């Protein structure tokens, strides 16, 4: 999607967080952040860094201690204030317009899926319902499941019902605490498109906790990176993944995100042509994949391990994507490899090469090179 201008950003509602939470005898969460109240903000970080504690505090399930010699807490979504210790404002969880989905579905076992949804709907006065129940059912594709009890559902089906139940409460903010962590890879792949569908059809902002890089690459518009209870960094997903310190920590998962527009589809070779700031890349369209029309916006993932570098553009190569780029930063990645940050027409790329190759090519910031992109993943 196009970048937000500073003027537009000021006009949009913001999720403002000023929180200090004691989560244990040796752990404090201290978050001071303004997040866009639009799209998907992924809260990312290792286990124990405070991701779940942050979501529980936003939901009103954990109440921060007042005072303690630090700035008083505040949680506000646009003009709607849920907590402001300086003003003596504290809204209990049931009064906050949030929907929450946990790692486990936590459905009422004695109720059918439909009755679980009705339970959530009954808590919202008719005049405050912003999402119709049949809309939530259709979005998650759970119509055939409504008469079944949770014990008769698969893990992925239970989670879809849990998400629909959260939507039935007509939230203004959806909080998701590692909702796919208990599912296998196949079930995760089934559920990811539903989050994108919710975004497209409801434009409902999400705060999505995960420590899985693939979920971040697929869903994130913004990233809030936590480390030991503190905000280490925040920003647009593409910029965050292009940070050298981040990429070094991701090991084999390091790579870049490309936001582009479908230019054409080559039926003969099953190649999708996508134009982005750095030129045109071609990626394989899997059999049975959803058709992509010209002009459609897509997101691509380019792993650093699949990018090699040359000083001249090679013509006799099997690699289809060869783009001019400029080296912006280098860092040793273990004893034998170098991670290289690049800019291609203003779009970030990452490459991982051997230290010997970096030496032989004379790689340095500012050097013009050609990025040979072997693998491009269409995130759909």
Q: How far apart are CA 224 and CA 47, in angstroms?
A: 15
pLDDT for residue 73: 85
Q: How far apart are CA 267 and CA 6, in angstroms?
A: 41
Residues 67-72 have a mean pLDDT of 53
How does the average pLDDT of the chain come out, rounded?
89
pLDDT for residue 64: 67
pLDDT in tens, 238-277: 999 989 998 998 888 899 998 999 999 998 888 999 999 9
% of residues, the chain, pLDDT over 90: 67
CB 153 within 8 A of CB 113: yes
pLDDT in tens, 268-301: 888 999 999 999 999 887 666 667 889 999 999 9
- CA dist list (Å): 216 to 40, 97, 178, 318, 362: 9, 25, 11, 30, 33
Question: Domain residue spans in the chain?
Answer: 6-243, 255-378
Question: What is the CATH code of the structural domain delimited by 6-243?
Answer: 3.40.50.300
pLDDT for residue 86: 86
pLDDT in tens, 316-368: 889 999 999 999 999 999 999 999 999 999 899 999 999 999 999 999 999 99
Decide which of 175 and 62 is more confident: 175
Q: Residue 138's beta-bridge partner residues?
A: none
Residues 194-201 have a mean pLDDT of 91
In words, the CATH class of domain 255-378 is mainly beta
Residue 253 falls in which region: left (phi positive, over 0), alpha (psi -120 to 50) or beta: alpha
CB 355 within 8 A of CB 332: yes
Q: Is the pTM of this model over 0.85?
A: yes
Edge-to-edge strand list for the sheet holding 255-266: 279-284, 271-276, 255-266, 297-303, 377-378
Range in 10-19, 124-133, 152-161 the model is least confident about: 10-19
């Amino acid at each position: 999607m196009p970048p937000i201008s500073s003027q537009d950003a000021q006009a949009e509602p913001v999720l403002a967080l000023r929180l200090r939470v004691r989560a244990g005898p040796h752990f404090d969460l201290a978050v001071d952040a303004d997040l866009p109240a639009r799209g998907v903000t992924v809260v990312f970080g290792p286990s124990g860094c405070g991701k779940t504690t942050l979501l529980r505090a936003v939901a009103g399930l954990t109440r921060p201690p007042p005072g303690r010699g630090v700035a008083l807490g505040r949680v506000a979504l646009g003009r709607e204030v849920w907590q402001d210790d300086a003003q003596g404002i504290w809204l209990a969880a049931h009064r906050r317009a949030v929907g929450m989905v946990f790692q486990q579905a936590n459905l009422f076992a004695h109720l059918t899926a439909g009755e679980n949804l009705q339970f959530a709907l009954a808590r919202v006065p008719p005049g405050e319902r912003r999402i119709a129940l049949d809309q939530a059912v259709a979005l998650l594709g759970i119509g055939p499941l409504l008469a079944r009890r949770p014990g008769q559902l698969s893990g992925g089906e239970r989670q879809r019902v849990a998400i629909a139940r959260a939507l039935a409460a007509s939230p203004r903010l959806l909080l998701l605490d590692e909702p796919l962590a208990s599912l296998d890879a196949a079930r995760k792949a089934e559920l990811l498109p539903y989050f994108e569908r919710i975004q497209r059809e409801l434009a409902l902002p999400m705060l999505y906790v995960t420590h899985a890089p693939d979920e971040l690459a697929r869903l994130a518009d913004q990233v809030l990176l936590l480390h030991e209870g503190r905000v280490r960094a925040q920003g647009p997903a593409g910029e965050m993944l292009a940070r050298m310190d981040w990429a070094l920590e991701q090991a084999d998962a390091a790579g870049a995100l490309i936001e582009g527009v479908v230019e054409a589809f080559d039926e003969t070779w099953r190649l999708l042509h996508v134009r982005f700031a750095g030129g045109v890349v071609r990626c394989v369209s899997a059999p049975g994949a959803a058709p992509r029309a010209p002009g459609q916006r897509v997101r691509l993932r380019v792993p650093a391990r699949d990018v090699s570098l040359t000083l001249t553009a090679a013509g006799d190569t099997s690699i289809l994507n060869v783009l001019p780029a400029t080296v912006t930063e280098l860092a040793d990645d273990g004893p034998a490899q170098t991670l290289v940050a690049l800019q291609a027409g203003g779009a970030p790329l990452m490459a991982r090469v051997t230290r010997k190759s970096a030496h032989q090519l004379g790689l340095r910031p500012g050097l013009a090179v050609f990025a040979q992109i072997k693998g491009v993943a269409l995130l759909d």
